[in-house]
Every structure is written in C-alpha cells, then in structure tokens.
Structure 1
Amino acid sequence: MSESLRPAPPSPCVTRSGLAGDIRALGLQPGRAVMLHASVGALGWVVGGPDTVIQAVLDVLGPAGTLLMFTGWEDDTFALDTWDEARRQAYLREKPPFEAGRSRADRHNSILAEYLRTWPGACRSDHPEASVAAVGRLAVDLTRDHPHDYAYGPGSPLARLVDAGGASLVLGAPLSRITVLHLAEATARLEGKRVVRYRMPVLRAGVRTWETFEDYDTTQRLVAGAPPDYFGLIARAFLEAGQGREGRAGAAPACLLDARDLVAFGAAWMERHLAGDGRPNPQAP
C-alpha cells in the first residue's frame, strides 16, 4: 500500500478526568485566575469535544477560580478604509454593532473562545476588538470597564489578570498566541511603537454608533523590523530560563506561565533586543 494511502494512526483518547490530571501536573492550583490558549485538535480525540476542555480546566480551578479567554470579534473592520466603495458603504450602512452578550468571538482565537463566551455565567468585556470572556469568581472584576483606547494596557483585563496573580495556560497552542504579552508591548519602553486607529460600530444606549479606537499595533509588529514571532521567542526564552512549567496535555505540549513574571520578562526582552526602529539592539546581553 502506498504510504500516502495508509490510514493515519489513531489520535489518543482524551477524557475530562485525564485532561484535568494533566493540567494539575503542570501546577495549576484551585482558586487561581488563568487565561487559556488551547488547540482542541492538538490534544487528541477529546471525548465530549471543546466543552470537555473547558470543563477540565474549571474542574482544576474549582469554584474559587476564574477562567479567561481572548475573544475579540468575528467580523472585524480593520481594513475598512482600503475596501472598494460599494463594500465600504454597505458596511457603514448595515454592519451590526458589537454587543458583548451577542457578537461572536473571533474563530481565529480557537473555537474554544466562542464556547467560553456562551458558557453559563460567562462575562465578556465591552470592547469590540480586544474583548475577553471569563467564567468564575473574578469574572465580573476582570472584564468590567475595559478601556476604550490602548485596550491591552493598564486597566485592561490583561492588567487585572496580572494584578490577580493569574497565569497563562497553553494546551497545544502556539506560544506566539499568548495574549498577555500584549500588556508587555504596551508597557515596554521602546521608541517608534506603531499606533493604529480603526473604526467599529458599537451599541450605545440602544443606538448603533461608529467609534474610532486607538492602540498599539497588535496585529502586525510593534516596531519596524521586529521578528514576526517574537511572542514565541519570548515565551520560549522564559521557559528556558527556568520559569514556568512544561508538560503534556493529552497528545500536545503544554505549559503554565505566571502572568506577572512573563509580562515583566517580555517587556525587558523587548527593551533589550529591539531598538527603537525594531532592529536588534547591539547593546543587548
């Protein structure tokens, strides 16, 4: 039989109890706040699908813990001003406004983001591009009063996660997707940070209103010339420095990283390795 026609080896069977055991082995403690980044497919054949992944994390956290995920918004308008006139006018006339309780999570942030957004008792922050969803004891506190501009910096859900002694939990997802490092971007002392402005429709007092938002560029590169995957480089350097815990979750690599330590490490890494124009800093150790 041709190699190309051979059946793929079966994926390992992943259960709720087994996944919870893997997460406990990473060191996640009950009562903690944790931001999850996970790939369901990378874990293996999960009995019960995405719901099982969320429930396993909640099992470990217990009733005093809090689970967060970055949600964003499924249908963004970042490139609105570059669209052809007919498409742009159609969006301006009829694009539904962002509503925290209804607007879909961005599917690129993992299918789990939408599952958590619609989980019983979930809260979601009121920002169309940078929203997070949370379930648990601190869900309201972590998602309230999301800043309109610079939505990943001080006062954001990411900053509150750090203040709460939280962590990032990665289950099979790329290290480059660790959202809390956007807080490191916001706080790193670098010249030449890219600033973007974009428009999105939101619901204010029952009226659809187009608003302009301003932030550092979190979708491309913070500064010109920065490596395309510097979040991944930072997270890997953090782990290689002996910080964080690594292990396995089902068939996938997994790790648990303290949010405060990671943000401080990430900001310092950016300041050491990137000059104001994004080039490697020749003075870096």
Structure 2
Amino acid sequence: MQPEPGDPGIEVDREDVRRAAGEVGIARGDTVMFHSSLSSMGTVVGGPDTVIDGFLEAVGSEGTVAAPTLWWHQTDPPLRMEDWDPDTSPSYPGLITEHFRRRPDSLRSNNPTHSVSAIGARAVELTRDHGATGRRPCVFGDAAFARASPWERLYQWNAAYCFIGVDFTVNTMSHYIETVLVEAALREAQGPLRRKLRARLQARHAEGVWPWYDRTGMEDCLTDRGLVRRGRIGSATLRCIRARDMVDHTLSILRAQPAHWFQANFQAWLAEAEGKADAP
C-alpha cells in the first residue's frame, strides 16, 4: 500500500506520540509493536527517535516497544540467506524500523525473514531464541513464526499492535495467523495424509497452496467488531488492536467462511485436512 500522505505543515513531538498512544489504550507495562510511515505524520521533530521514545514513555520503564525489522525480501539480484547478519543486515519496512534496529538500546531477533527488534524491560525475552523450538510449517521457513518467536510472544502477551499512517495491508502478524491455521489443520490429518498435505504447501522456493487472505477486508471486519481503536499522530491515522483479539477473531472469521477468504486450491486442501472432502 501507499502510506497516508503526510502534511509537512503539522509538527509532531514526543509528547504527541505519547498522548496518542494513551488515547488508543496503551498503558504503562504494555508491550507495543508498531508498523509505521514516518512521512505520514507530517514533520516529526527529532525524526525516528521521537516516535520510538514517545512509545517508550507511554509504556514506562516496565514496558517494551518493538518494531518489525525484516531483512529478506524480493530483490534483483536476490538476497542470499547465508548473508543474513542480525547485527548488520538492514531493515527494509520503513525508515523508523532501520533506525530502531541500529539504536544501542535495541535487541534484534535472529531470523532472516521476520526478525523483530525491541527496546525495554522484556526486550531480551521477546527477541531471544527465534525459531529454536516449536517450528511450524510456513511459506517463509519453519522458524519464522515458531512457538519460540517474537510473534508467538506478541500473541501470548496480548501486545498492543499498532499501525501509524499505514493499514493492515502491511500487517506481518497475518503470516503468524496463516501459519497457526495451517498447523492446526495438519494436526487434524493422520499419518500419510498429513505428510501428503504438508508436501503440497507453498514454500520459499516451491509452488503450492497457502492461506493468503485479504488483509484490508479483514481490517474492516475487525473494525466492525469494535476491536480496532483509532487516533492521530500528527497527520497520520494511528490504528491499534490487541494481538489476541486480532489473532483469535481473524482465525474464527477465516474458519467460518473459507470460501469467502481463500483461493480454491487452499479451500480444497483445508477440506481434505479436516476430513470434509475425499482425497484426490
């Protein structure tokens, strides 16, 4: 998506960020994850640090602030996984995320496709051992959204999940949701069928099926349920939803209406996994 156009005539300072965070329900001790567009807010006095420090003030010394510091993406020539280095590999989803991961108080998880950086009381706990245990089948590799991952912890801790000047099109947590849905479906299948179904899943270098869904359409559904709170940071819309609400409600909606949300090939895969269709 294109970020919201910012109004350079509007100035934003750290107090503006802190106040907006409070207006969408962020409190001391919270864990916050945010996607962002710096330019959408207007003229941010002090740049990325102003945004990061504003959130840190909102959660206090007992809270934690995180950002998606993803490295791997489609490039020409392609990036090589063996070149990944959590200390030096740049983050591509926006200026704030790259600045975030370079801060001396920031810790970064060790995953080439879906690393998370964090600052605060639980930063070590949030970022450690990414993919070490509890791996799950995933189009981005089995470690990306493992049980030992920042994404699982954001769900378990019911983090405040925010979007500044961007919408759910950039919602990385959607891939956690897709991965959990696939894992649960595979648990329903037994023995040879489970292996057969897993072999049909899309992987990083293999075509196959995957539960891609319309993230902006899902944002509308979650908003209609009263789960998405909105505020303003300068000229940008601030959206905020609790991670458990996002995940649990999205999974419920997807499972209730697979024909509406999924492509036909994944609908067939899911029906077979759940024993609702004859195997081909």
- Structure 2 counterpart SS, 1:24: helix
More deviation, 62-71/241-250: 241-250
CA distance in 2, matches of 1:61, 1:178: 22
Residue of structure 2 equivalent to 1:151: 144
Counterpart among 96, 100, 118 of residue 86 in structure 2: 100
CA distance in 2, matches of 1:44, 1:9: 5
Letter of the structure 1 residue corresponding to residue 121 of structure 2:
R
CA distance in 2, matches of 1:277, 1:131: 27
Residue of structure 2 equivalent to 1:162: 155
Q: TM-score, normalised by structure 2?
A: 0.74
Determine whether 1:255 maps to 2:252: no
Contact map agreement 1:40 1:46 (CA 8 A) in 2? yes
Letter of the structure 2 residue corresponding to residue 70 of structure 1:
P
Matches of residues 5-154 of structure 1 in structure 2 within 5 Å?
10-73=8-71, 76=73, 97-106=83-92, 109-147=93-131, 149-154=142-147
- Give, in angstroms, the shift of residue 57 of structure 1: 0.9
CA distance in 2, matches of 1:272, 1:111: 38
CA distance in 2, matches of 1:237, 1:124: 32
Residue of structure 2 equivalent to 1:222: 210
- Give, in angstroms, the shift of residue 277 of structure 1: 6.0
Relative to 1, partners in 2 of residues 1:35 and 1:63: Cα closer, same or farther, differing over 3 Å? same
Letter of the structure 2 residue corresponding to residue 185 of structure 1:
E
Q: Across the two proteins, how many residue pairs are aligned to each other?
A: 237
Runs of 4+ in 1 over 3 A off after TM superposition: 189-194
Q: Deviations over 1:130-177 (max 9, x none)?
A: 111111111111111111724124322111111122120111112211
Q: TM-score, normalised by structure 1?
A: 0.73
Letter of the structure 1 residue corresponding to residue 90 of structure 2:
R
Relative to 1, partners in 2 of residues 1:46 and 1:150: Cα closer, same or farther, differing over 3 Å? same
CA distance in 2, matches of 1:260, 1:132: 18
Letter of the structure 2 residue corresponding to residue 166 of structure 1:
A
- Give, in angstroms, the shift of residue 28 of structure 1: 0.6
Q: Which runs of 5+ in 2 are unaligned?
A: 1-5, 132-140, 187-196, 268-280
Instruction: Tell me the percent identity.
Output: 28
Residue of structure 2 equivalent to 1:204: none
Letter of the structure 2 residue corresponding to residue 222 of structure 1:
W
Letter of the structure 2 residue corresponding to residue 115 of structure 1:
H
Q: Deviations over 1:26-48 (max 9, x none)?
A: 11111111111111111111111
Q: Which runs of 5+ in 1 are unaligned?
A: 1-7, 199-213
CA distance in 1, matches of 2:99, 2:116: 12
CA distance in 1, matches of 2:155, 2:100: 20
- Give, in angstroms, the shift of residue 270 of structure 1: 2.2
Contact map agreement 1:168 1:178 (CA 8 A) in 2? no
Determine whether 1:196 maps to 2:203: yes
Contact map agreement 2:24 2:230 (CA 8 A) in 1? yes
CA distance in 1, matches of 2:7, 2:35: 26
- Structure 1 counterpart SS, 2:117: strand
Letter of the structure 1 residue corresponding to residue 56 of structure 2:
L
Matches of residues 232-247 of structure 1 in structure 2 within 5 Å?
232-247=216-231
Residue of structure 1 equivalent to 2:272: none
CA distance in 2, matches of 1:32, 1:195: 35
* Higher helix proportion (structure 1 or 2): 2
- Give, in angstroms, the shift of residue 96 of structure 1: 7.0
Contact map agreement 2:7 2:42 (CA 8 A) in 1? no
Q: Deviations over 1:73-128 (max 9, x none)?
A: 1x64x67xxx8xxx68xx87xx972111111112xx11111111012221111111
